[in-house]
Each structure stands twice: as structure tokens, then as C-alpha cells.
Amino acid sequence: MAVVFAKTPKGQDEVVAKSGGLTPRQRRVLIMVDGKRSVEELRTMLLADDLQNTLGLLEELELIAVSSTGGAPVAAVQSLPPITAFSELPANADPLRLQMARNFMVNTVNTFVGALGASSLLDRLAKADGHAGLRALYDEWYHAIVSSRDGRREAEALRSKLLQVI
């Protein structure tokens, strides 16, 4: 399913005014979003390893919105969750799912960044209180992963796997 994003009025204003404090990469992605190019087309044009994360940020800032998915009408698309949305947690806390998320985050940081490079993050992951605590550390985890060359290559796959349990 090809997802296509378009700039919102707020996003169009941001392109002109440059007032939102976007990084050059985020701004470049915003400019390239045109309501016609799919995410895959953007990926080949921009060569950005963290494109999903950038699109998710732009969507959360309400600068872009999904305009279509593989020819589906916009009304049908409006019910899609944001691209970085966490899944809904079950009513009863699942300690196994929590431990899987914690272990995944710790192991990936150790593998791609190393214990010395991220000891503070590793300590906070170990002490995080439930899913809410881990979710609060999600952005920092993702940025730690993409800070390494090998992590950048695997970032999207790792992000997808983590979002299944976090």
C-alpha cells in the first residue's frame, strides 16, 4: 500500500515562513512532500535513513497529512494512525510484553551504540516505569540507534519491531 502525504496549510506556511525550527533535513522532506509522491518515492529521492521518523514528526506537528494510500480515497485514509503511533495497550498490563520491549531497547542500544556510548540511556531504560516510561524514552532510543552507521541501516526495521511490543 503506497502512502502519500501532502502539506497541510500549516505546512505550506512553514515552507514560506521558515518559523517552525525544523532541521535542514526535516525542511527538505517537508518541501519534497507534494501530495503525489509516495513514501517509497521520497525514500529513493532523499536517501534518508530516518525518513519514517521525519515523516512522523512532520505529521505530529501537523505540517503534513496522509492524502491517499494506494488509490484509496482520502476519507478512508483519515482513520489511519500517525506513522509513529504506539499501539494501544491492553487494559491489563502484560509484564511479558513490557520485558520484551525493555530487552529489545537495551539490546539494540548495546549492539549498535555500545554500553559506554549510551550508559545514561541504558540506566534510564532499566529504571523506566512501565510502557509509559519506555515510550517516553523512544525518541532518545531511536536517535541513539541512528547515530551509528550500522544502526542507520537497520533503524526502520528495528523501529517497526519495537512498535509491535512497546
pLDDT digits (tens, 9 = 90+) for 72-109: 444 444 444 445 567 777 778 788 989 999 999 999 99
| Average pLDDT estimate for 106-122 | 89
Dist. CA 139–CA 166, nearest whole Å: 13
Q: Identify the pLDDT of residue 49.
A: 64
Residue matched to cell numbers 532518545: 140
- Please indicate whether residue 65 or residue 67 has the higher confidence score (pLDDT): 65
Q: Is the pLDDT of residue 70 over 60?
A: no
124-130-135-137 Cα dihedral, nearest 10 degrees:
0
CB-based contacts of 67: which residues, under 8 Å, 6+ apart?
4, 5, 6, 35, 74, 77
For residue 84, the Cα-to-chain-centroid distance in whole angstroms is: 4
- Please indicate whether residue 164 or residue 156 has the higher confidence score (pLDDT): 164
Q: Identify the pLDDT of residue 20.
A: 72
Q: Is the pLDDT of residue 123 over 90?
A: yes
Q: Identify the pLDDT of residue 75.
A: 46
Q: What are the grid coordinates assigned to 31, written together?
A: 518541501
Dist. CA 158–CA 89, nearest whole Å: 20
30 band by pLDDT with thresholds 50, 70 and 90: very high
Dist. CA 149–CA 66, nearest whole Å: 30
* The overall pTM is greater than 0.85: no
Dist. CA 14–CA 10, nearest whole Å: 6
| Average pLDDT estimate for 33-44 | 86
Cross-strand pairs, 60? none
Tell me how far apart the 2 most distant CA atoms of the chain are, in Å. 49
